Amino acid sequence: MKDVYWVVEANGKEIGAMTLDEFEDIQKSVKANWLNRIVAVIRFFFFPAYKKTGLYLPEIEEEVKALLQVRTDAPLTIKFVRGEMPSQIRLL
Q: Quickly state the pLDDT bin for 71 (edges 50, 70, 90).
A: confident
Distance of alpha carbon 85 from alpha carbon 7, whole angstroms: 9
- 28: alpha, beta or left, given left = phi > 0 and alpha = psi -120 to 50? alpha
Is the pLDDT score of 43 beyond 70? yes
The number of distinct structural domains making up the chain is 1
Residues 74-81 have a mean pLDDT of 85
The whole-number pLDDT of residue 88 equals: 53
Domain residues for the domain of 28 are: 4-90
Listed range (39-43, 54-58, 76-80) with the worst mean pLDDT:
54-58
- pTM of the complete model: 0.69
Residues 33-52 have a mean pLDDT of 73
Q: Quickly state the pLDDT bin for 33 (edges 50, 70, 90).
A: confident
- DSSP conformation letters of the chain: ---EEEEEEETTEEEEEEEHHHHHHHHHHHHH-HHHHHHHHHHHHH-TT----TTS-HHHHHHHHHHHT----SPEEEEEEESPPPHHHHT-
Residues 42-70 have a mean pLDDT of 74
Q: How far apart are the first and last CA of the chain?
A: 26
